[in-house]
Amino acid sequence: MALLEVHDVSKRFGALVVAEALSFEVGDGEALGVIGPNGAGKTTMFNLVAGALRADGGRVVFEGRDVTALPATARCRRGIVRTFQVPQPFEGMTVFENLLVGAFFGSETVGTDPETQAWEALELAGLDGKVNALAGSLTLLERKRLELARALAAKPRLLLLDEIAGGLTEGECRALIAAIGEIRASGVSIVWIEHVVHALLAVVDRLIVLDQGRLVGEGEPRAVMASKTVQEIYMGADPDA
């Protein structure tokens, strides 16, 4: 049984279709990459899966349960946890206090102390040296790690990463890839939207391609990247030229 099943999910704002009959699955323990040009509907798809947007049609099923009608808070507490493209820390709070928010309010894990959850997330994201630093004082890489750590503190079963490698140097990107690899090895399933393609290829098992709110490609990562569809709509190339 798939961990996440998205069945014919659609969303429009007036005449603008932002998701059209999207269907895909994420297996337990799988890392799925999502690519597509700007405006393809990638973040909208995350909003529909995480519950920030209510779908106009279709179903979202998580761990065999239909969660289509549940709000984002309820989905988070069941294990669907996301990060944001632009980190959104509580800047006046310390790193550890930020993680406690995730552990207290984002998780319904029974039998685990929230402070323990926060410490585990801190170490896994590589922020244990910044425990008492104010979030507002962090570098971009550290903010992205904090965004990741706060999500981990909520004990996700499925982690949605939204362009978390954007804006990083090559060295910072390698460090982030290593951290995401450790998260995946811990048993967390991942769906990762990213324009830094080499980062995706280092982690994911499978890629899907979105364009204008539709799923237009799916498969083994390198085969998808070499496909005519991706060259035309994502790379901006004409494969017949």
For 23-34, how does the pLDDT look when each residue is reduced to its tens digit (9 = 90+)? Answer: 999 999 999 999
Q: What is d(CA 140, CA 6) in angstroms, rounded to the nearest whole number? A: 33
Number of domains in the chain: 2
Which residue in 147, 143, 122 sits closest to 134, CA to CA?
143
Q: Look up residue 107 and give its DSSP letter.
A: -
Q: Three-state SS for 131?
A: coil
Which residue in 43, 4, 59 sits closest to 213, CA to CA?
43
Length of the chain as a residue count: 241
Percent of the chain with pLDDT strictly greater than 70: 95
Is pTM beyond 0.85? Reply is yes
Structure tokens at 98: 């930020």
Q: Does 6 share its domain with 37?
A: yes
Q: Does 64 share its domain with 166?
A: yes
pLDDT for the residue numbered 21 = 95
Q: Give pLDDT tens digits for 69-109.
A: 999 999 999 999 999 988 989 999 999 999 999 898 887 76
Q: What CATH number did the domain enclosing 18 receive?
A: 3.40.50.300
Q: Does 162 share its domain with 241?
A: yes
Strand partners, 217: 209
Structure tokens at 68: 């289509």
Q: Does 26 share its domain with 42?
A: yes
Q: Does 131 share its domain with 164?
A: no
Q: Are 153 and 117 in contact (CB under 8 A)?
A: yes
Q: Does 147 share its domain with 162?
A: no
State the first-to-last Cα distance of the chain, in angstroms, to the nearest integer: 43
Q: Three-state SS for 17?
A: strand
Q: Are 27 and 11 in contact (CB under 8 A)?
A: no
- With bands split at pLDDT 50, 70 and 90, how would you rate the model's confidence at 241? very low
Q: Does 54 share its domain with 145?
A: no
- With bands split at pLDDT 50, 70 and 90, how would you rate the model's confidence at 239? very low
Q: Does 69 share its domain with 105?
A: no
Q: Give pLDDT tens digits for 170-207.
A: 998 898 899 899 889 989 999 999 999 899 999 999 99
CA torsion, ordered 164, 44, 65, 182, to nearest 10 deg: -10
Q: Tell me which residue range forms the domain holding 110.
A: 88-153
